Chains A and B, each alone.
Chain A
Amino acid sequence: MNTQLTIFQVLIVLLPLFGFLVAILPPKSYKKMYIAEVGIMFITLVLSAVLFFMKIFSLPDETIRSTFTLFTVGGSDGFNFIVDLTMDNMTVALLFMVSLISFLVHFFSLEYMSHEPLKNRYFGYLGLFTFSMLGLLSTGSIIFIYIFWELVGLSSYLLIGFWGFKDEAASACSKAFITNRVGDFGFFLGILMLFITYNSFDLFFIFDQIGAGKFPLGSEMWLTVTGLLLFAGAVGKSAQFPLHVWLPDAMAGPTPVSALIHAATMVAAGVYMIVRLFPLFTETSFLIIGFIGGFSALMAATIALTQIDIKKILAYSTVSQLGLMVLAVGVGAYHAAIIHLLFHAFFKAGLFLGSGAIIHATHSQDINDMGGLRKKMPVTFYTTVIYSLALVGFPLTIGFLSKEMILTSSITLGSLSGNYIYFIFAVLTSTLTSFYIFRYVFLIFFGEPRNHHAYEHAHDFNIFIKLPLIVLAALCFFFIFTFNPITLHGTWLTDLIFRLPKILLPDNVTYSFLTNGAEGSIYSEVYTHTMHASEIVVTIISLLIISGGIGTAWYMYMKKKLVPKVPEGFLGKAYMFSQKAWYINELYDVTVIKGTMLFATLMTIIDKYLVDGIINLGAKITMILGRFSAGFDKYVVDGFVNLVAWINGLISMILRKFQTGKVQTYLTLVMVFIVFFVMYIFSN
């Protein structure tokens, strides 16, 4: 059974790579190749669904690992480099999610990218990305996580820069890559810290060691530092403050790519990573993680309020939702984070694909070119409304379930520790979310068309566009996942899929309410009790903020029919502050980029005058020595050689006289020497 599952897992990971190879090799028929690409993804999807159900229903409690040693460094007792394939319930659920969305995006791209000349390259990159993402989810070795981490970064770079002939896309892909480097540098340092401490990349081994009381450099503080270094990688990949600047720019890539990579899967890798490393974080780490997540969530939500590019709105919304997930990890709600990751992937991918359909129809990304599209694009309209309701956490949608878990966890933490800041962050973010996403819906689909030319041409597309939208919208309803519309606590989802990790850290290192509890619970009794008590409060608050946010949006954009423009006075300044994304890009421009340029100029000057001066001096000295040496060579060495040559020439001049080519001369010479020889014999 285990072997069978492992074989399935290997197939699931390697099939997209095969698709990549098929796409990059010159195909005989492009049409057949696209069908093959989508077919490969469909097989992957079916396999991962089978794997998911087999794992969940037959071996729910096991973590299936298969490892083999690739090579050994330093003799028989040296370090073994181990290839690691790990599968637990979280892994199979995320594998299913990634292959589902990847398949839908492939399917969607058949129509969306149908006019692109380099489609095969596009599908190849998608395959490479899917392979890397599935690989990232399938390993329990931190070095393999890092390798796949960089591979998803690479494929993200390639896909953002797919339209690299545009300056915007070219600079956006570089920006994404370089910004991620900053986070990955920290991530790599963290891996090195773990390695020098435990001499292993195996996460489970490392967790056991930590549980046994072995910390990096022997102190809890260094464990915190290691955890934060590792978290820096997640900050980069999941676009958290202060490294979030790349994600809005990454919208320069094709929209299906945004749906797959920059909304649903790759950016969630950071959240996945900190969830995977959950037992590694100390209380200080959790505090910082939660604060960064909450701040990013709130900041991105305020920015999303005023954006006029529809993809930018969704991008900041993504940053905001990722911030909520990170916040959930920070408050210790591991399962809330991963469930929100999973659900968010569905509706955010749907929102992006819907926006892709709109862009495909109107050939514009500016919200001012839209309006009144609901009559023209009914399927897009209804599905987008469903996704938006899921995003704000409307009851009966999956968003309600996951967001409620996050809110409950943060208020529980607040009532237990007196630290309500996370709850405030989460509530404010939810309020703003419900406002901006309905602003998005109202401005696009309701009201009068603001660009009649675009409006005339807008229409729903064929099955390739519709099917993914409908499938994702169907997934946004709660009954797909659970039969309890109110809460996920105690349902089969939390009980079976998200088997909680063992918390091995001592109580004084991690949160006190996280214990190594028995029977699948990591939370102490008082925590569970407080959580149940606050559930009803949270539901009420949640309903209030949703209706408040939607109501405000309705009032502003339906009743008063406002259009996005800069208001007067102080409000205008605030509006610009939001629309310019808190001027963070400008700040980086002034500090980091200008600073780097200044430093580079300084270095140029040093290089030019100091280093070059030394080198030129050395060159001068070498030249003088060279002249000296050349003179010696010319007159002494060459003179000797010429002398030898001259002597040889002289002898040759004499000897060649005898070589006349005349037989008689040779004969004479023979005779002369015979005479001498005979005379010599006679003289003896």
Chain B
Amino acid sequence: MVGLNHFLILTSILFSLGLFGVITRKNAITVLMGLELILNAASLNFVAITRFTDVAASGQVISLFIIVLAASEAAIALAIVLNLYKNFNNVNVDEINSLKE
């Protein structure tokens, strides 16, 4: 019988996959995809908790906000990526190390 824990484990795996992508991929767009994975994991968590506990529809509202934020984040992130490409002529995150000293 599938319960809340199944969903939580699923989102944990999804989150870990997203995190792995964020910290290991070179390409900034792939990093962005990893971020989408993490956001979806969170979103799914909220919905599942709404379903299995007695919190009315608050979780779904938060999920809605997350989707909105994810969309705006994607828009900004892609604008940044395009600017990066313009300035460095690639979008490899590990080669963009201007933060160093």
Contact = CB atoms under 8 A, between A and B. Distances in A.
Direct contact of A and B (CB under 8 A): yes
B93 A659 contact: no
B99 A661 contact: yes
B101 interface: yes
Interface string B68-101: 0000000000000000000000000110111111
A668 B25 CA distance: 12
Interface string A633-667: 00000000000000000000000000111111001
Nearest to B100: A661
B19 A662 contact: no
A661 B19 contact: no
B94 A664 contact: yes
B23 A659 contact: no
B97 A668 contact: no
A663 B99 CA distance: 8
Contacts of A671: 19, 23
A671 B34 CA distance: 15
B42 interface: no
A663 B31 CA distance: 11
A664 B97 contact: no
Contacts of B19: 671
A662 B97 CA distance: 5
B24 interface: yes
B34 to A, nearest CB: 11
Contacts of B96: 662
Interface in B12-26: 19, 22-24
A288 to B, nearest CB: 94
A679 to B, nearest CB: 16
A659 B101 CA distance: 8
B93 A662 contact: yes
Given A662-B93, A662-B94, A667 B22 contact: yes
A668 B23 contact: yes
Contacts of B101: 659, 661
B23 A660 contact: no
A660 B99 CA distance: 8
A659 to B, nearest CB: 6
Nearest to B28: A663
A659 B96 CA distance: 13
B23 A661 contact: no
Interface residues of B, number: 13
B35 to A, nearest CB: 11
Contacts of A667: 22-23
A661 B94 CA distance: 9
Nearest to B26: A664
A668 B19 CA distance: 9
Interface in B25-60: 31
A664 to B, nearest CB: 5
A659 B94 contact: no
Contacts of A661: 97-101
B74 to A, nearest CB: 18
A664 B23 CA distance: 5
Interface in A346-385: none
Contacts of A659: 100-101
A349 B97 CA distance: 98
Contacts of A668: 23
A320 B101 CA distance: 95
B20 to A, nearest CB: 10
A660 B24 contact: no
Nearest to B94: A662
Contacts of A662: 93-94, 96-97, 99-100
Contacts of B98: 661
Given A668-B23, A671-B19, A671-B23, A663 B93 contact: yes
Interface in A662-680: 662-664, 667-668, 671
A669 to B, nearest CB: 10
B97 A660 contact: yes
A662 B93 CA distance: 7
Residue from B19, B24, B98, B99 with most neighbouring chain A CB atoms (10 Å): B99
Contacts of B24: 664
A652 to B, nearest CB: 13
Nearest to A659: B100
A218 B98 CA distance: 97
Nearest to A668: B23
Nearest to B24: A664
A659 B100 CA distance: 7
Contacts of B22: 664, 667
Nearest to B25: A664
A253 B101 CA distance: 79
A661 B99 CA distance: 5
Nearest to A664: B23
A668 B22 CA distance: 9
A191 to B, nearest CB: 78
Contacts of B31: 664
Contacts of B23: 664, 667-668, 671
Residue from B23, B94, B99, B100 with most neighbouring chain A CB atoms (10 Å): B23
Nearest to B99: A661
Contacts of B94: 662, 664
Nearest to A669: B23
A509 to B, nearest CB: 98
A674 to B, nearest CB: 10
Nearest to B31: A664
A376 B24 CA distance: 122
B93 A660 contact: no
B40 to A, nearest CB: 19
A664 B28 CA distance: 11
Interface in A110-126: none
A461 to B, nearest CB: 90
Nearest to B97: A661
Given A671-B19, A671-B23, A664 B100 contact: no
B28 to A, nearest CB: 10
A334 B98 CA distance: 103
Nearest to B22: A667
B99 to A, nearest CB: 4
B10 to A, nearest CB: 20
A663 B100 CA distance: 10
Contacts of A663: 93, 99
Residue from A659, A662, A667, A671 with most neighbouring chain B CB atoms (10 Å): A662
Nearest to A661: B100
5 contacts: A661-B100, A662-B93, A662-B99, A668-B23, A671-B19
The 6 closest A-B pairs by CB, nearest first: A661-B100, A661-B97, A661-B99, A668-B23, A664-B23, A662-B97
Interface of A: 659-664, 667-668, 671
Given A661-B98, A664-B22, A671-B23, 11 more contacts: A659-B100, A660-B97, A661-B99, A661-B100, A661-B101, A662-B93, A662-B94, A663-B99, A664-B94, A667-B22, A668-B23
